[in-house]
Amino acid sequence: MQELLPSLGALDILPDALARDVVRHLCGAACHGVGETVELCESRGDCYIVVTCGGCGTTFTLDDDQYESLIAWSAGQGNALACGIAPLAG
């Protein structure tokens, strides 16, 4: 699967380095798959989204913009590569 990474030219649509790192990790040979997403909220109302790699347990904390761009990338590119992030349940 490592050979897929150079073909991920569509990474240019992602807004920042963290979003690109998430895709590189989830679409790489070692942990190829779909990351699970959960929204965690603190008692004061601050929420954030965490993506967990099913292969190794690595976690990535995303803001709303990163999440939205990764969902769009996963829907447009990830299906063909069988990798990316899953949308939040609900």
The Cα–Cα gap between 9 and 17 comes to: 14
- pLDDT tens for 25-57 read 998 878 888 999 999 998 888 899 999 999 999
The predicted pLDDT at position 9 comes to: 56
- Residues 46-72 have a mean pLDDT of 92
The predicted pLDDT at position 52 comes to: 95
- Strand order through the sheet with 47-52: 59-62, 47-52, 34-41, 84-85
Phi, psi of 80 (to 5 degrees): -65, -30
- pLDDT tens for 2-24 read 444 545 556 777 778 898 899 88
Contact 36, 61 (CB under 8 A): no
The pTM score is 0.81
For residues 72, 76, 78 and 81, what is the CA-based torsion angle, rounded to 10 degrees? -170
User: What distance lies between CA 59 and its chain's CA centroid?
Assistant: 10
The predicted pLDDT at position 14 comes to: 79
- Residues 58-76 have a mean pLDDT of 90
